[in-house]
Amino acid sequence: MVIHYKCPNCGDDMSFDSESGKLTCLSCGRQDAIENFSDEFITTTFEENETKEYHCENCGAVLLTDADTVATTCSFCGAGVVIAERVSGTLAPSLVIPFSINKDEAVAAFKKWCKNGLVTPNDFMTADRIKKLTGMYVPFWMYDLNSRVRVSGSGTKVREYTSGDYIYTETSYYRIFRDINLDYMKVPVDASEKMEDGLMDKLEPYKYDQLKTFKTPYLAGYLAEKYNYDDKALLPRAKTKIQSFIDSYIHSTVSGYATFIPEQKEIESKKMKSYYVLLPIWMVTYHYRGKDYIFAMNGQTGKVVGKPPISRAKVAGWFGGIAAITLLIFRLVTFFMGGGLI
Amino acid sequence: MKKNLFLFALFFLLSFMVGGNHAFAISQKIYDQAGLLTDREVTKLETLATQVGEKWDTDILIVTVNDPNIDVKQYTEDFYDEKIDEQGLDKWNVAMLTVDMNNREVYLAGFYKGKLYLNDSRLDNIREQISPALTAGNYEHAFEQFIALVDDYMAGEPANLFLQWWFQIIIAIIIGGVITGTFVYNSGGRVTTNNRTYLNTNTSRILAKRDDYIRTVVTKTRKPSQNSSGGGITGGGHSHSGSRGSF
């Protein structure tokens, strides 16, 4: 079943507007609050049939989608449509962060980011060759994790004092034990096969105050994918993500010591809850010197990540400039202290 | 704006450079109170010391003394304090050699620019090289050697590693490399989450902790003695390098 939002006023296609957060008709300007939409399509479980052909509700043309697509625009008439089977039952997302940055703002944010590039080539910085800009809801699992940490190790405190002709160094050894309860809330892990994990990790953090209960109209006008990995499969990755957080928390609980070496560390992390969440991401395809560069932008905060081309000349310039100025400062210091300038 | 600020800073620094760092030369360099040299030798050494001293803006002083009541290092410091007061200077660049004939001891000291180029170990080195001539009673030769060695060191670089070219170049390259490397590394976006981003601070806490004292180990090392050789600070508050020895 394909969902298409038709304006009750004028009959044109409606899509999600990031500014007002409402379902909006571009023709007559009618806006509908999404919170009031019913959940009927989400609670219904359809039979899953991946070879099934979908037709656009608007014009009847065949929708060209791959098996993971949840929302798309009809390639024939341009209407935003949602494939209901793929957001229902076990595939129903529980939460969504809607786009806060629209297409124009995304272009502006990308251009600004390019301009701030310190080591990217000049002709790249103009950012005038954006080939494709796609607003996309990427599936994520968010985990509430509880970790019980029991760590013991040895610590030292060092005191130094002089008496007579000698300097005394007094090292006191301590046996340290900590039993810590840690709760990490909504740690996101991307569940799409197509997205590079490292890239998605760098897009964080999202502002969670805008997390909304999922409703299909949020997807209208954007692309959306369903998850490829379930919450069980991605739990280990979530645990790895909090590993360094846990370590730095442990160290923050051991203060006042000169050294601390953990000898026994027991970390028991449990999943308390997991949520299937769709997060807004702008994918930017940028054409530069015969090559396509892919960037991702956080659709909520505008943060851009990706691998831009690096200008060797600029890298050399920065390196030479910084090294030369540093050396100049050193020489001035030398001169002030009474040494020669050259 | 940024450029202006930079130029202003540079101007400020340059004006400092012109003002500071100047020490007037004292006319007499050789104080042969123990009478080790002939008049002709004194004149010759005076000329040599003046020449080398002018070249490096550092007075080279040679003092000989024969008095049972003095300590050679103390005497050197007092001598410097007395002469700097006479001239009314705040700082006075000096490389100084004091010979105590009564105790057959010698003390070498560097003040300000002298200290910068002649640290303790360089002065030790000079002292070791001139000691044979002093022991043999060949004082004029020893003093000539002293002036020549001071000249050599002053022609080179300051004794401190951080003020030497090759070291500064290496550090500058490392700093440039690290900063530029960070630029390249961060060109694709940085991770901006930290350990508090997802932490629920209401429920995360220490449930139990124990800090058990086990034992204390005390080690002792001898204080680096300040009196033997090496430098110090004069009564007038002028810090100096030094090297002391017998001959």
The domain locations on chain B are 23-161+232-246
Q: Is B222 on the interface with A (CB under 8 A)?
A: yes
Cβ separation of B188 and A339 shorter than 8 Å?
no
DSSP annotation string for B124-154: HHHHHHHHHHHHTT-HHHHHHHHHHHHHHHH
* Nearest chain A CA: its distance from B14 CA (Å): 9
* Nearest chain A CA: its distance from B65 CA (Å): 30
Query: Which residues on chain A are in Cβ contact (under 8 Å) with B212?
Result: 174-177
Q: Are strands A69-73 and A223-225 parallel, antiparallel or unpaired?
A: antiparallel
pLDDT tens for A252-300 read 999 889 999 999 999 999 999 999 999 999 999 998 888 889 999 999 9
Does the structure show a pLDDT above 80 at B134?
A: yes
Residue of A nearest to B194 (CA): A245
Residue of A nearest to B58 (CA): A338
Q: Is B2 on the interface with A (CB under 8 A)?
A: no
* Nearest chain B CA: its distance from A279 CA (Å): 16
Give me chain A's average pLDDT, please: 88
Query: Which residues on chain A are in Cβ contact (under 8 Å) with B117?
Result: 339
Two structure tokens written together for B40: 């002709």
Cβ–Cβ pairs < 8 A, chains A and B:
190
State which residues of chain A have pLDDT below 70.
38-52, 342
Does the structure show a pLDDT above 80 at B3?
A: no
Does the structure show a pLDDT above 70 at B5?
A: no
Cβ separation of A305 and B208 shorter than 8 Å?
no
The residue with tokens 């300000």 is B112
Q: What are the domain boundaries of chain A?
A: 142-186+232-274, 311-342
Give me chain B's average pLDDT, please: 87
B104 φ/ψ sector (left φ>0, alpha ψ -120 to 50, else beta) = left
pLDDT tens for A293-339 read 999 999 999 999 999 999 999 999 999 999 999 999 999 988 888 77
N- to C-terminal Cα distance for chain A?
Answer: 80
E strands, A201-322, are 212-213, 223-225, 259-288, 291-298, 304-306
| Chain B (31-90) residues lying within 8 Å, Cβ to Cβ, of chain A | none
Query: Given pLDDT bands bounded at 50, 70 and 90, which one contains residue B188?
Result: confident
pLDDT tens for B56-73 read 889 999 999 998 889 999
* Nearest chain A CA: its distance from B235 CA (Å): 22
* Facing residue for B195 by CB, picked from A172, A245, A338: A245
* Facing residue for B203 by CB, picked from A181, A303, A310: A181
Cβ separation of B184 and A155 shorter than 8 Å?
no
Percent of chain A with pLDDT over 70: 95
Write down the CATH number for the domain with range B23-161+232-246.
3.10.310.50
- The pLDDT, as a whole number, for residue A247 is 92
Give Cβ neighbours of residue B30 (< 8 Å, ≥ 6 apart).
B37, B42, B45, B46, B49, B61, B62, B143
